[in-house]
A and B are shown apart, each in its own frame.
Chain A
Amino acid sequence: GDSVTQMEGPVTLSEEAFLTINCTYTATGYPSLFWYVQYPGEGLQLLLKATKADDKGSNKGFEATYRKETTSFHLEKGSVQVSDSAVYFCALSSNYGGSQGNLIFGKGTKLSVKP
């Protein structure tokens, strides 16, 4: 079945460091790909998404490119801030079969940014 694998955390960085969180997926068909962020004590919020191959999603300085050839959707940010400390989830939504619209999540990567 469809699945998402993202790098294990926690990730600890200093402010202004470069961030990469790796995400790869397995899916039938052509899924849409998402990054959601969860701040402490809150629900998940959409950070960015890409709905077809080679699309780049971007928001708040974060970027991710949908790479079909490597089945990847790595999250990057050039300069992290303390306020970026949160748990980041990679997810896919299949366009195939009865599970259309369901989000399948990775395990999450906790990011801590130190001043």
Chain B
Amino acid sequence: DARVTQTPRDKVTEMGQEVTMRCQPILGHNTVFWYRQTMMQGLELLAYFRNRAPLDDSGMPKDRFSAEMPDATLATLKIQPSEPRDSAVYFCASGLGLASHTDTQYFGPGTRLTVL
């Protein structure tokens, strides 16, 4: 049963520290998405990759957030420096990318980040 995996599942850190979240998309999927979920804002798209190339990162605060895909099996989301307002659940999702707007996205279990 193929699944998207994310590590760590939980992360508690102090303000100013660097945080790196990792995602392994489903093998064969060529689109990867990063979302942030908070009570106030709901689910927000942060970044979107196709074939490892960033297509849309307009939802991401550029001064502190960065997203990369070093290879097809790994996507990373980094926050440096972290701030308390970054506390949220971060989800990674992947898709086949055959027909963009009809594709199903498969979500990982999320990383719960708490910045003190």
Contacts and interface: CB of A to CB of B under 8 A. Distances in A.
Interface of A: 31-32, 34, 36, 41-46, 49, 51, 89, 93-95, 98-108
Contacts of A94: 101
A44 B43 CA distance: 11
A42 B103 CA distance: 21
Contacts of A45: 107
Given A43-B109, A45-B107, A107 B101 contact: no
Contacts of B88: none
B89 to A, nearest CB: 9
B105 A43 contact: no
Nearest to A30: B101
A100 B42 contact: no
Interface residues of B, number: 25
Nearest to A89: B43
B25 interface: no
A43 B107 contact: yes
Interface string B72-114: 0000000000000000000101010100111111111110000
17 contacts: A36-B107, A42-B109, A43-B91, A49-B102, A51-B101, A93-B102, A93-B103, A95-B101, A100-B100, A101-B95, A101-B101, A102-B33, A102-B48, A103-B33, A103-B43, A103-B45, A105-B43
B31 interface: yes
A52 to B, nearest CB: 9
B38 to A, nearest CB: 11
